[in-house]
Each structure stands twice: as structure tokens, then as C-alpha cells.
Amino acid sequence: MKNKYNNIIKNIRLNILNLTFKAKSSHIGSCLSIVEILIALYYGVLKKSDRFILSKGHAALALYVILFEKKFISSRILKTFGSDGTILMNHVSSKVNGVEFSTGSLGHGLPVAVGKALKFKSNNEKNKVFVLISDGEINEGTTWESLLFASHHKLDNLNIIIDFNKIQSMDFVNKVMNIEPLKKKLDSFGCKTYEVNGHSIDQIIKILKIQTQKKPKVLIAHTTKGKGVSFMENNNLWHYKNPNIQELNTAMTEIKKKYA
């Protein structure tokens, strides 16, 4: 059965490929792994009063592209990605309409999200806070400091999504520094943890809509780095490499076919 989101998934992935090629930029694999998570957030979860922070700021382009789809930014601005003086920095920038917070150095988004959630909670405001972190950020001390604080203060308005694509910058996560058993660790820190297929938009929406009771929610989204392009999937070369014209054309053909 045809996925009702196929058209948007296709458009976003094609834009990511094209703009990365044009800008000769990196992090294509990191962008492709979070496409469905972003669609779930922007098409099924986020309300106007909610906040979303992309903590893995190197996947900025994926966010810019979905902000274009949601009409926060124009096609004229989107086309400036990679050009001198563009506001579309390669690490996500709050100069861009619709971007909540600038990030780029890992381990920063979650503490900021905790601050926002704390402010809303202490003021009896109903706003919810969503933050998307990478599996590499699990290495950061701030992640665990924040989880301790968030669970102690029962921040059930905080939703943490982990893009668990199993590959960090230099190698597979379990080869760099094993983070398993991740769910057990997160639960033991006082979180309510769920695991989903990070490319199933409906599953992500369903979990993100659950209201936890007095616990921060963590969604471990099992994803594939480079998702959608066979030769980019599960290959950390595409954390860095920029596609050449042949690779771009092959990738575009695959995406068009896969999400027809």
C-alpha cells in the first residue's frame, strides 16, 4: 500500500541531495536519517505553542528543507544554502525563521530544552518541548546531567527523540563506545522510554502523542544513516562525503523510484 507521506518524503530527500551536492557540504547521511522524524513532528505533533530544538545541528539542511515545505522559508532563501553570506548555516541557526535555537556543538540542545520545559512547568504553561539528539550525543556528559535533572523535576512536558542510526562520526557507535543497553540506561535515569522504527511516521506520531505521567519521555528512534539511498545507507563515508554528479543522479533515481 502506498505510504500517504511518500510525496513529502520524496521531496525532502530530493532537496537534501540536490542542495548538499550544490553546496558541496557534508552530513548527508545524518540528514537522511531524520527525515521521517521531522515529518512526524511537523505534520503530526507540533502545535504552535510547542518548541522543537534540533540538537544534532549538523543535520541543519533536513530542518531547513522541512521548514521550506511548511512555508517558514521561501524557495529563494532555500536556494542560498551553501552560498557566501547565506543565513542557512550548515549548523542550524536561529536566524532562520522557524528555527528555535542555534546548535552545532553536540550536547547543547538537551540542556536548553530542559530549561524551556522547566520554565513552562514552573509557570503552569502547557507548552511542550521536543528535542532531537543524535546517538553520538549519548557520549556527552550533559546528556546524562540533563536526564538526572529532568527526571528529578518530573518534566513530563519534555520529549527527547534519539536518532539512533548506529553510526557516529568516525565509526559504528558500538565500536567507538558502546551505549547499550540504551533503553535500560534511560529507564534507570527515570525516563519513560519507548523504542520505534524511526522511519515509521505513524509510529513516531503515536508515541509522541502519549502523555507521560511525571516522567520525561524518550523515544529511541531506530533509523538508518543515509536512509533511502542504497549506497549511502549504513556507511559513515556519507557523514563527510559530498556526492559527485553520477552519485547524485543515481541517488535521485533511487529516491524517485522508492517513494513514487
Partner 1 sequence: MRKLFIKKLIENNKNKKSYLIINDLGFSVIEPFKKKFPDRIFNAGVSEQNMMGMAAGIASEKSNVFVYSIGNFSTFRCAEQIRNDIDYHKLPVTIVSVGSGVGYGNLGYTHHALQDYALMRSFPNIQILSPGNNNELIGLLNFIKKDPQPSYLRLDKNEHENIKFKKLVVSPAGIIKLIDGDKKKIILTTGCVQNLAMNIRLRKYKNYSLYSMPIWGMKAKNKAKNIIKKFDEIITIEDHFYDGGFGSWLKECINYTDIKTIIKSKYIRSEVINDVGSKEYLLKKYGPK
C-alpha cell at 28: 548527508
Q: CB of residue 150 vs partner 1: minimum separation in angstroms?
A: 9
Residue number with CB closer to partner 1 (185 or 206): 185
Residue number with CB closer to partner 1 (146 or 223): 146
Residue number with CB closer to partner 1 (69 or 137): 137
Nearest residue to 192 (alpha-carbon basis) of 156, 165, 162: 156
Q: CB of residue 144 vs partner 1: minimum separation in angstroms?
A: 9
Residue number with CB closer to partner 1 (149 or 172): 149
Residue number with CB closer to partner 1 (27 or 116): 116
Q: CB of residue 172 vs partner 1: minimum separation in angstroms?
A: 27
Residue number with CB closer to partner 1 (119 or 175): 119
Q: CB of residue 8 vs partner 1: minimum separation in angstroms?
A: 29
Q: How many CB atoms lie within 10 A of CB 119?
A: 12
Report the interface residues with partner 1, using CB under 8 A: 94, 101-105, 107-108, 110-120, 122, 141-142, 145-146, 148-149, 153
